[in-house]
Structure 1
């Protein structure tokens, strides 16, 4: 059987803006070129080989880094004590998602209050100021997902290796400690009151 299809109507050609490799902060590309797409190697992350850290009264376990995922995403598991919180801050170059496994987490973003219980997922697009607090009566256990990868390096570079696979002693990091200052003043995370934090990132420039 012969099938005749009409030719599609032509559309104005629109040139896509140049792209930038956010995961490694490479120079912006001004010209287009054919490139080879590389995929990451299969890997498994277990509790035994994932590195644990202490920072801000939180136990962080980094399960996937940009090095493992070719910069596509990172995955961090966290245990946060009751009343733990993060002040208003922004991730200029990464989208963030929270998936709550235990406890309750309240996220403030874009004029909305998101109350996340077990099994709930909350999503914060990049460049959106947000804060969160553990509002339940117990430890909050979450998975924290960032795309592209990179934020995990802020954790690794600011936190201290966990001495035990348990939550750190309360008050281990003072609010004005150098570790906390580094954590909220870098390429991947910044307190919202920093003058550069809310600059719009334009990949076309």
Structure 2
């Protein structure tokens, strides 16, 4: 973590992280995180590489440093499934055990 505070949930175990913290999550481990401060800056790496393509292809850079509007629609379950299938075809290294059920 470079700046701010966040909580990482690794196999549902919460881990508090602040500036200077290092959180390592083994490949294939169920995880999530929540931002606990107004601003968070962190370095995110993947070893072995590949899954970053999933993130790059399924996100859109923010136009401003603000939260998206609450009225922004959430994707249907089918939309991410289709996108993930396309990404795995384009970048086979993006496929992980965590994504089981998304393959065609």
* TM-score, normalised via structure 1 length: 0.36
Following superposition, the deviation at residue 185 of structure 1 comes to 4.1
Q: Between Structure 1 and Structure 2, which shows a larger proportion of helix residues?
A: 2
Structure 1 gap segments, 5+ residues each: 1-99, 198-205
Query: Contact 1:107 / 1:132 at 8 angstroms: preserved in 2?
Result: yes
Query: Contact 2:6 / 2:33 at 8 angstroms: preserved in 1?
Result: yes
**Aligned with residue 155 of structure 1, among 55, 60, 63:** 55
Following superposition, the deviation at residue 152 of structure 1 comes to 2.3
**Aligned with residue 73 of structure 2, among 155, 169, 174:** 174
* TM-score, normalised via structure 2 length: 0.64
Following superposition, the deviation at residue 121 of structure 1 comes to 0.6
Q: What is the number of residues matched between the two proteins?
A: 92
- RMSD over equivalenced CA pairs, Å: 3.5
Following superposition, the deviation at residue 112 of structure 1 comes to 2.1
From the superposition, tell whether residues 177 and 167 of structure 1 become closer, same or farther in structure 2 (CA, over 3 Å).
Answer: farther
In 2, Cα distance between the equivalents of 1:145 and 1:167?
Answer: 22
Structure of greater Rg: 1
From the superposition, tell whether residues 140 and 175 of structure 1 become closer, same or farther in structure 2 (CA, over 3 Å).
Answer: same
In 2, Cα distance between the equivalents of 1:153 and 1:195?
Answer: 17
Following superposition, the deviation at residue 158 of structure 1 comes to 2.1
Where does 1:1-205 land on structure 2 (aligned, <5 Å)? Answer: 100-136=1-37, 138-160=38-60, 162=61, 164=63, 166-167=64-65, 170-171=68-69, 174-176=73-75, 181=80, 185=84, 187=88, 188=94, 196=101
Structure 2 gap segments, 5+ residues each: 89-93
